[in-house]
A and B are shown apart, each in its own frame.
Chain A
Amino acid sequence: MSELAKLTIAQARDAMRKGETSSAEITKACLNEIEGAGALGAFAHHTPEIAINQAEAADARIKGGDSPDMCGIPLGIKDLFCTKGVPSQAASGILEGFKPAYESTVTTQLFDAGAVMLGKLNMDEFAMGSSNETSVYGNAINPWKVDDRALTPGGSSGGSASAVAADLCLAATGTDTGGSIRQPAAFVGITGMKPTYGRVSRWGIVAFASSLDQAGPMTKDVRDAAIMLRAMCGHDAKDSTSADLPVPDFEAALTGDIKGKTIGIPKEYRMEGMPEEIEKLWADGTAMLKDAGAKIVDISLPHTKYALPAYYVIAPAEASSNLARYDGVRFGHRAKLAQGDGITEMYEKTRAEGFGAEVQRRVMVGTYVLSAGFYDAYYNRARKVRTLIKRDFEQVFGDGVDAILTPATPSAAFALGENFDPIQMYLNDVFTVTVNLAGLPGISVPAGLDKQGLPLGLQLIGRPWEEADLLNVAYRLEQSAGFVAKPGKWW
């Protein structure tokens, strides 16, 4: 039974179409795995009734010969996605009890294609964090272990990463504002993709930093990322930044042939104090792409160093504005008021009680950088630096580079509770955040294990809107790296 939960999307799709198994069977296998995996803290809300109903409907559809790729595939949905009638809290106390009256565009599209929702996945509160330690639900835990310490699955899509790596679901949705799909994917040895900004509708996804947020798939391999991405993207009139472009068949692009492609290796990503193992992984990945017939060129992205500081102005600024809506009036938590408290006290107490420490910190930093007298010095300067970061990429793509290879993270997964300093935590996103600032597609592919036996990922960055090509390079890298390791079951 548990073997069914280990299937990839492609395997399950093909087996269901042949009648070898059914969505009901796979879904029950996943529900069973989830039940036994409470120790991972991956699922925050369970929706077995919805899952079984959707699975039966999918089976009827497949029998009738109508089976889109995602039909009958059981998924975990990050808690950031609004799902109709199902708690959607963004892992925050301030959205306690909130059950949306509507369905996000991404989940609507997935369900219309026949996908099955197993439940809502743990994450960092409002997607602010890199370790899943800021969640109101408690920590999500990495299924990988090397000693008795509990390791982080990364963040903010930590529950998604943990659930996919532990085979609790076939795949999961994630969102990525500064690395929140790619960093956790790397920490647990799965594939995670952030598409080009505008590829996937943001409608119905709780907003963190609207100019950076993008949803994407977190899957067991690159083929699955291609399949699931196709079902998630497309133009949506309800998101004015969603692109009205045709959606290619990404899976059909996976030929594994990258002969003649030019892969850039950016020198600025060679960080001081970077672990030797990451250096080696990167060199090995470069050699693999070269052996596959790609041309390797050294490139420079001179403003890389300024990406994180620019991000920590822009993202908090947008968050302070987006999170202004949590005021205890329309949804979620409202503080108990004392005699004589007015509306201002209601706002202040509600937000102090409802938001966790990291969210409060970022909202206040955002408020500060947008406040009169500092707007130009911080916010406008950061937006100018963002222009320069994007220009760096445009330059190298203009020079003929097809994709850029970098490490996905500066380290393997660290222990929960180990990383207390906010700025140390921010450095987790040093290789991923540039991609959000430039609006580019990026994918993290598991490529090896470190000395302790923990997974490490490599990141590929592509040209805007060329996810198909990027996925093909990632597919080649995946084949060459041959990463098949799985965490030993301890939960």
Chain B
Amino acid sequence: MSIDTETARRVAKLARIKVEDDALPALAGEFNAILGFIEQLNEVDVDGVEPMTSVTPQRLKRRVDVVTDGSQQDAVLKNAPDAREGFFAVPKVVE
């Protein structure tokens, strides 16, 4: 499995990380090195093996479905780079 510049561009886009065009070939090279390392997993016979979902076999605890927290608008917005009138502000999303 070889990753070309186009695939690297697509992955960067999916990850929402801006990568300049001239950095894409080097990035593709790094992906290939890491994926080459990962390819070793193909040697393992995994027929009939369940993929792990939980490392400790325990039932997740349940709790009553009630509100336990809230009314903390100021605390929630306090660290926002741009908060206005009780909301997070972002560039215009819908024209």
Partner-B contacts on A (CB < 8 A): 97-102, 196-198, 211, 237, 240-241, 243-244, 303, 305-306, 308-310, 312-313, 320, 324, 327-334, 337, 341-349, 351-352, 355, 360-361, 363-369, 371, 378, 380-388, 390, 422-423, 426, 437-439, 464
Contacts and interface: CB of A to CB of B under 8 A. Distances in A.
Contacts, number: 168
A422 B56 contact: no
Given A309-B37, A332-B81, A342-B93, A385 B31 contact: no
Given A365-B34, A422-B34, A348 B41 contact: no
B31 A368 contact: yes
B36 to A, nearest CB: 9
B12 A237 contact: no
Contacts of A211: 54-55
Interface residues of B, number: 52
Given A367-B11, A390-B55, A439-B55, A351 B16 contact: yes
Given A422-B34, A423-B37, 19 more contacts: A99-B79, A101-B76, A197-B56, A211-B54, A303-B44, A305-B40, A330-B79, A344-B16, A348-B13, A349-B18, A351-B15, A366-B15, A381-B44, A382-B41, A384-B46, A386-B51, A386-B52, A423-B34, A426-B37
A364 B51 contact: no
B11 A198 contact: no
Given A309-B41, A330-B79, A390-B52, A371 B92 contact: no
B63 interface: yes
A346 B91 contact: yes
A387 B55 CA distance: 8
B65 to A, nearest CB: 14
Given A240-B60, A351-B18, A352-B17, A334 B49 contact: no
B21 interface: no
Nearest to A314: B52
Interface in B40-90: 40-44, 46, 49-56, 58, 60-61, 63, 72, 75-76, 78-82, 88, 90
Q: Max chain B CB contacts within 10 Å: which of A305, A341, A385?
A: A385
A348 B90 contact: no
Interface of B: 3, 7-8, 11-19, 27, 30-31, 33-35, 37-44, 46, 49-56, 58, 60-61, 63, 72, 75-76, 78-82, 88, 90-93
Given A310-B41, A312-B38, A423-B33, A381 B46 contact: yes
A342 B93 CA distance: 7
A196 B75 CA distance: 33
- The secondary structure that dominates the A interface is helix
A327 B33 contact: no
B41 A385 contact: yes
Contacts of A333: 81
Nearest to B92: A342
Contacts of B90: 329, 343, 346
Contacts of B35: 365, 368
A279 B78 CA distance: 53
Contact of A381 (B14, B18, B41, B93): B41
B44 A385 contact: yes
Contact of A385 (B46, B75, B79): B46
A211 B54 CA distance: 8
B14 A365 contact: no
B79 A337 contact: no
A438 B57 CA distance: 11
A313 B41 contact: yes
A439 B56 contact: yes
A364 B12 contact: yes
Contact of A371 (B14, B17, B30): B14
Contacts of B72: 101
